[in-house]
Each structure stands twice: as C-alpha cells, then as structure tokens.
Chains A and B, each alone.
Chain A
Amino acid sequence: MKGHGRDDATPAAQAPGGPGPAVSTGPAQMDALLPVPTPLLEARHLVREYRVGGAFTRRRQVLRAVDNVSLQVFAGETLGIVGESGCGKSTLGRCLLRLDDPTGGEVLFENRDITRLGERALRPLRRRMQMVFQDSYSSLNPRRRVGDLIAEPLRVHPAPEGSSRTAAAIRARVEELAELVGLSAAALSRYPHQFSGGQRQRINIARALALSPALVVADEPVSALDVSVQAQVVNLFADLQERLGLTYVFIAHDLSVVRQIANRVAVMYLGAVVEMGDADAVLHSPAHPYSAALVSAVPEPVVGLPDRRTVLTGDVPSPVSPPSGCRFHTRCPAMRPVCRSEAPKLRPLGGEFRSVACHFPLTAA
C-alpha cells in the first residue's frame, strides 16, 4: 500500500482541488522532492504525569500516563491511536487539545506552540480543534433540546469577523449541521434521551463541527455502539472528512475500526508509542512484538482461520512502576537480555514514516 488516501480507489482523494488544504493526502508527498509539509498538529516529547496515592498513603508516587510521545498529524489525514486500556491513549488525546495540561514537552497546532497558552489565548484556537467522546449520553445535557445543544458553541464563541450571529443565522447553521450528520429537522426540538446511542453520537458530532474545526479528536467514538450502528457512524466520520477536509485523531481499542478509518496508526503501550506507520503496514506486518500480539489477538468474524495467535501471558504492568529497559520485555515472546536493561528508542524503519521502538523488530522494512 503506497497511497495515503483513505483508499487507493477513492476518487475524491485523488481529484484535483479535492477537499482540504493542499497537503490533504498526508505524508505520502514527503517521498517526492516537495517541500516538507508542516503538520497541522505536532507533539514533541510530550509527557503527562499524575501524582497518585492520596492523603492516606505515605509515599506519593508518580504515574507517567504519557511518556515522551512525539507525533505529527497532517492536514486531511486520520491518525489512529490504538492500545489497550490504561496505555495512555485518552490522556494523549486530551493533551493534544490542551484539555489536559502536559507535564513536559510541547504541542504545536498550526505551527504554534500551544503548550503553555493560557485559557484566554487558547479560546480562539478551541474553535479550530474539537473533541468527540465515547459516552454520547453523558456529554449531552439531558435538560436541553438537541437544537440548543448543537447551537451552544455558536452562542459561546464570537462570530468570525465579517459575519454576524443572529438567531436566524444560528438556526440556519444548526439545521445545516443536522442535515450534515443525518439528523432530521424534527430531531432538533427533542431531548437527548429520546435518541438511540448512534443518533446521540450524531448529535455530538454535529456539535463538534458547529464551529468548522480543522481538527477533531475522537476518543472511542463508536465503542459503545452496536456493530450495525457502529458502521453507520464510521461511515459518517469518513463522509464528513471527505466533504469538509477534516483532520482526525481517532483513538480506539478496536483495530478493525481503526484500520477502516485511519491512514496511519500509532500503537501505544504503557504510555509510549511503540510503533507508528501506515495503517495497513502496521496492522498487516507489525514490526513490534506488542503490535503483533495485539493484532493476532483480535477475534475475526471468519471461520476456518489457522490459529496464528500469539497469546501474551500476564497482565499489563503497573504504569506507576514500569519495567526497566523495554517496557514490554516482561510479556514479550522474543525477549533477549538487552531488552531488560536498555530502553529501545522509537526509530525509523523502512520508509513511509514507519517507526518502531524495538531492539529486534519483526519486519525489516
């Protein structure tokens, strides 16, 4: 797989003047001798630590939820972040949007360091980056009508210069958004509890898109949905990206869903990115033993597959006291002595932005 569009056969991704900014095909263009595109979003050595152990314990410990993560997200692409619970993928997502304050490192949005911007300075940027959460119900105020919920960002944020936000303009925009996500106009006067999970997630997406953001970080947006409905929402994410030229950071534990939507994926384990690269490359020929085990553990809805499973033993170690050396060495089927003492750095592997943090990667290119 060479192209970085959603699919090689996607007409819109290849059409000249397609949606999104000039570099909408993502890092594929890096191969050519074009000037290096600047990423829409970049994390440099991002760290987020929490103090754990409360008032009643003697020793307070530090939990490093995100440990030295560097990544880039290019305009128009989808970066999938996968990993098991507790790997830090949600914390990373929140730090990228400054919904959580990183302990160290930098976050750059549109080439501007936003790591230490105050709330006031962040405000105009907030409209450019939005988030969609897993729990579609708790993110919607149950006492407000859907129309008001979608309109809220429009009322809170001042209108861009040269336009006005009259009640009529807001109503028109809300109706436009409802249509965009496939909600009927009648839905706008109802309350969140009157909708199914899939419909509620559409409401959340409409609200996130109200201010025409460039970047949407979606944290497990389809995990709580039944498969038949999940497919509808995954398709909606793809359609919206095509129509609006959106850039996504898509956080999920379901590798099949991530493969469907993401151009590139980053695999996280215990707070760190252990492998990153083209979605199909990483999922079909994983280079890190953890990615390989993760992929092989996915039960596929197909009968008669050979049992190729690498079943990991044990549980994920506590992030409060991660293992020495390579953080995966305690469960790694290919562990060698050096893995115990020396932590492997995330280093490039082959081309196409592929990188892996392993002393003995499974694939060479």
Chain B
Amino acid sequence: MTATPGFPLLEVEALTISLPARGGGWTDLVRDVSFSLAPREILGLVGESGSGKSLTALALMGLVDAPGARITGSARYRGRELLGLKKREMQLLRGAEIAMIFQDPMTAFTPVYTVGAQIDEQIRAHRALSRAGARARTVEMLGEMGVPDPARAADRYPHQLSGGLRQRAMIAMALSCNPSLLIADEPTTALDVTVQAQILGLLRRLRRDYASAVLLITHDMGVVAETCDRTMVLYSGSIAESGPTDALFLQPGHPYTAGLLDSIPPLHGPRPRRLPAIPGAPPSPAQRPQGCSFRPRCAFNHAACLDPPPMLRRGRQDIACVLPAEGRDLPPRPMASFDAPVPA
C-alpha cells in the first residue's frame, strides 16, 4: 500500500464485486482492489471503459444495484465499515459525509424541479435549516462554484443551464453539506476543454476551501496528470499500478500504464509517424486469460505471465507485474520538451 500522510480517510481492502456467472460460479467485475485515501488528498482512478472504475465508486456509495451482485472485502470510512451498512445509516452518510458527482448532470438532476429546490432539499435532509436558510446556503454555494448570478440560477430548471453550469450546480449540491470525501465519476468528460479546465480548477480548490478529499474517476490521463496527487490504474477489474502521480508518469512500471501513456498523441514535441498503440482490446470479465489479464496485449508476455501477477513495490509505486521482480524495469519516459510559447 502506498504510504499516505496522516490517518486514512478511506481504506479499501480486497474489494471484489462479482456477478453470478452463466452456468454457475462468479464473474469478478472488480477484483481484489485495495487502496487508501488521506484527508485532502486527490486520488485518480484511471482505466478504460469496463475496467471497473465506476463500479468501485458505486460500491463505496452503496449504490450497486445489479441483481445478485456480491460485494466482498472491506471499505472503511474513518474506521467505519461501509460495505453492508444499513440503508438508513448509509443515507445519513451519503450526501453529508461522502458525496458523489456524475458525468452527466442532466440525468443527476430531476428535470421537474429547479436546480435550487434540489440543492435545498439535500441541505434540509442533512441539516436542521429553514427553507430560507437552506436557500441562502444554496445561493452561497452556487456563487462559490462560479455560477454567475447565483440567485437567479437557483430558480432555473436543469435544462435551462449550460453543461458547464449544470456541472457546477451538481458540484455545489455535492459540497453543500461539506463532505469530507467527494467521489467524482468522469466529472468533465461531457464538457468542452475550456469548461473542463474551469471545473478541474474548482476540484483542485476543494481541498483548500473545504478540506475535502477527492476520488477522481476518469479515463483521461491528462486530467489525472494535472489534478491528482496519486494515481491508480485499473485494467480489467484489477489494479495494474498505483503510486504518486509524478513517479507513475515519469517511469511507469506496468506495461499497460506505459502503453496507455504512449497511445496518447502528443500535443507538443515531435510528432510520431505512427502512434504506439496497444494491440487488441481489453478482455470481457467472463473471458479473462489465464494469469495476467494484460498478457495477450503485452509486448513483454512470457512464461511467468501465466501465473497471476504479484503486486510488487518498485520505488514509490506498486506494480502488478513480474517485470520489476525480474529486474527488467521499463525505461523512464522522456520529459516533455516544451516548445510552446506562453500565450499573451
């Protein structure tokens, strides 16, 4: 486990989420995921679609509603077990202590009430405040999230706001009760880059202004690089690699992390003639290969990969791969050459 400063806010151990498989047995969608999150820390959870990153978050919130799903392991929030918590107790935590924002604010808000009414409702569910008091808090929160003319915006329906404003309103709602942990599931994926930059700035400010920790779920390595203190890479339901963001980006230890970074076309520096793409596609959870899940797509595939990979420490990273144990570290990535002038 990567060391985190201070007492962990959230400690997840061996979290496994399975669905009954056809013909008996279980299919693990998330396998043996362990991590911890310190107060005020921003942890990035990256992976491609189907890697289990959103499911992990939903399990923490007690929101996995797939019929027959089995969740094992443990997830302790301030030492208190979240998995298997009674519905009523979870409701007290959810929104007040742990809040979540989603990719699509349009579906997270109900279209039939104004944005303000929905934020008021959340505040009044957790705090003993009058309607007027709740509304004052709503307007204050919207204002702090950079919504222009917050009193008027509170009286608008979700469809009357732009995507960026809706996402701000959702963050305002999530933060209205001052949660210690914010789980943000692809919060900027539906937004344009200029608006994304605004929202990411907002997330980075949360720890300072609200002392919140953030679990940021994304598929975008760029978003992780500039937002997260630590990064955890998921592949096919398991952790491939985790560690401090700078270490992980400078010298990825898992071939999947390296491949993922190489696949991204660079905006600056020399333009590669071809992108070093990872061949193939991730396996479906029901058809994972024997041993390492990444084996069929990996350039370093060899006999030792037929066994499940051990989680090994190398430098400041934890890597689920046999290469470090074999003394075959991946090369460090070239530092970005910066040839772009600073815009005036």
Chain A residues with CB under 8 Å of chain B are: 6-7, 9-10, 84-85, 196, 198-199, 226-232, 234-235, 238, 253, 255-257, 259-260, 280, 283-286, 289, 292-306, 308-316, 334, 362
Once the chains bind, are A229 and B281 in contact (CB under 8 Å)? yes
Once the chains bind, are A315 and B278 in contact (CB under 8 Å)? no
* A286 / chain B contacts, CB cutoff of 8 Å: 343
With A227-B263, A259-B267, A285-B340 already in contact, the answer to whether A297 and B197 are too (CB < 8 A) is yes
Chain B residues with CB under 8 Å of chain A are: 48-49, 148, 162-165, 192-198, 200-201, 219-227, 245-246, 249-250, 259-268, 271-279, 281-282, 335-336, 338-344
Q: What number of residue pairs across chains A and B have CB atoms under 8 A from each other?
A: 160
User: In chain B, what residue has the closest Cβ to A260?
Assistant: B265
Partner of B194, one of A9, A232, A280, A297: A297
Q: How far is the CB of A41 from chain B (nearest CB, A)?
A: 24
Once the chains bind, are A259 and B271 in contact (CB under 8 Å)? yes
* B344 / chain A contacts, CB cutoff of 8 Å: 292, 334, 362
* A302 / chain B contacts, CB cutoff of 8 Å: 225, 249, 335-336
- A302 to B262 Cα, complex, angstroms: 11
User: In chain A, what residue has the closest Cβ to B222?
Assistant: A299
With A284-B340, A300-B222 already in contact, the answer to whether A227 and B260 are too (CB < 8 A) is yes
Q: How far is the CB of B295 from chain A (nearest CB, A)?
A: 15
Once the chains bind, are A232 and B193 in contact (CB under 8 Å)? no
User: In chain A, what residue has the closest Cβ to B247?
Assistant: A303
Candidate in B49, B163, B277 with the most chain A CB atoms within 10 angstroms: B277
* B249 / chain A contacts, CB cutoff of 8 Å: 301-303
Candidate in B200, B245, B340 with the most chain A CB atoms within 10 angstroms: B340
Once the chains bind, are B271 and A7 in contact (CB under 8 Å)? yes
Partner of B267, one of A230, A235, A292, A295: A295
Once the chains bind, are A310 and B265 in contact (CB under 8 Å)? no
User: In chain A, what residue has the closest Cβ to B220?
Assistant: A299
Partner of B268, one of A196, A226, A228, A300: A300
Partner of A255, one of B224, B267, B282, B335: B267
- A311 to B193 Cα, complex, angstroms: 10
Partner of A299, one of B225, B259, B261, B263: B225
- A199 to B279 Cα, complex, angstroms: 12
With A257-B265, A299-B225, A301-B261 already in contact, the answer to whether A226 and B342 are too (CB < 8 A) is no
Q: Would you list 27 pairs from A and B whose C-beta atoms are within 8 A, ordered by A residue?
A: A9-B273, A10-B273, A227-B48, A228-B263, A229-B277, A229-B281, A231-B264, A231-B278, A232-B278, A234-B265, A259-B266, A259-B271, A283-B267, A284-B340, A285-B340, A286-B343, A295-B343, A296-B343, A301-B221, A301-B249, A301-B264, A305-B338, A308-B342, A310-B343, A311-B197, A312-B194, A315-B162
- A295 to B224 Cα, complex, angstroms: 18
- A260 to B264 Cα, complex, angstroms: 10
Once the chains bind, are A231 and B276 in contact (CB under 8 Å)? yes
Once the chains bind, are A300 and B267 in contact (CB under 8 Å)? yes
